[in-house]
A and B are shown apart, each in its own frame.
Chain A
């Protein structure tokens, strides 16, 4: 797949899966997509291992944009990127954007073959100033 991949990381598996459903509705199979959320007991939370697997699943040579919800999702995603390491790490960007709108807009941009930089910029336009 040449298009940028999208990863959705929420504390809630329902939010993550639901967001992924909305992305699929927009872009079908044009964009590599993966989601993760929840702790090992089935409660709310985020896990580094699950995020690493999701990035792997949505991997594209064009890179991956990660959409996160609250603080722990961001910190765990940063840790996951660091543990994945180079050469992949520099092609993974954690977006500063609302998770649902960011994922849908980023994926729509990605489906047109946009670069990682363009995909991330589209998501960042949604961030509160």
Chain B
């Protein structure tokens, strides 16, 4: 657990996240095609492959600098609205996090990063976006939940976007017709969370 201030193997985390996004790219695109513009899988894959290409050099940087650099890379390569949104998440997390974060440090940094994403997207929880996963994950981290509980919370939160009506993003153009589909950004966020938790502590 993170209380031990474990040295984080950033290269392994990057590989796991990039693998997961690549493996689920078609699923993410299908979710986005249902209620959006259908580019989410390809965009996220492009972004995380660009991060993967620099995994070795990123892993040599201090953790805050590395996470910020991941954010900048995502901003410049993902495209769509997801680029600035996921990019802001990592840029803000890197800005707020300490070099060897405790669980409490990480929770505080993630909370601020979530708020930065909300500001970037002019959105809030309950609007069928990635925030609907990020905030429950933050709550689980802050409450000292286990990694298994955190990943379960992320999956449940992504699934819980299904009955929501989209208020932000392309899906909001569909109004009531956005109901009944999982939000692609919420799903990709949950996938990233699970890739990280399963790498930190294999199930």
The residues of A with any CB-CB pair to B shorter than 8 Å are 11, 39-41, 43-49, 70-72, 75-76, 78-79, 83
Contacts and interface: CB of A to CB of B under 8 A. Distances in A.
B21 interface: no
Interface stretch (B12-20, B76-84, B143-151): B76-84
B83 A76 contact: yes
A79 B170 contact: no
A97 to B, nearest CB: 18
Interface residues of B, number: 22
B79 A47 contact: yes
Contacts of B43: 39, 45
In this complex, the member of A70, A71, A72, A79 whose beta carbon has the largest number of chain B beta carbons within 10 angstroms is A72
Contacts, number: 59
B39 A79 contact: no
Contact of B75 (A11, A43, A79): A79
Contacts of A45: 39, 43, 79-80
Interface of B: 37, 39, 42-43, 46, 75-77, 79-85, 87-88, 120-121, 168-170
A47 B83 contact: yes
Contacts of B170: 70-72
Contacts of B77: 40
A48 B39 contact: no
B81 A48 contact: no
9 pairs of A and B residues whose beta carbons are closest in the complex: A79-B84, A72-B81, A75-B81, A45-B79, A72-B80, A75-B84, A39-B79, A47-B79, A49-B76
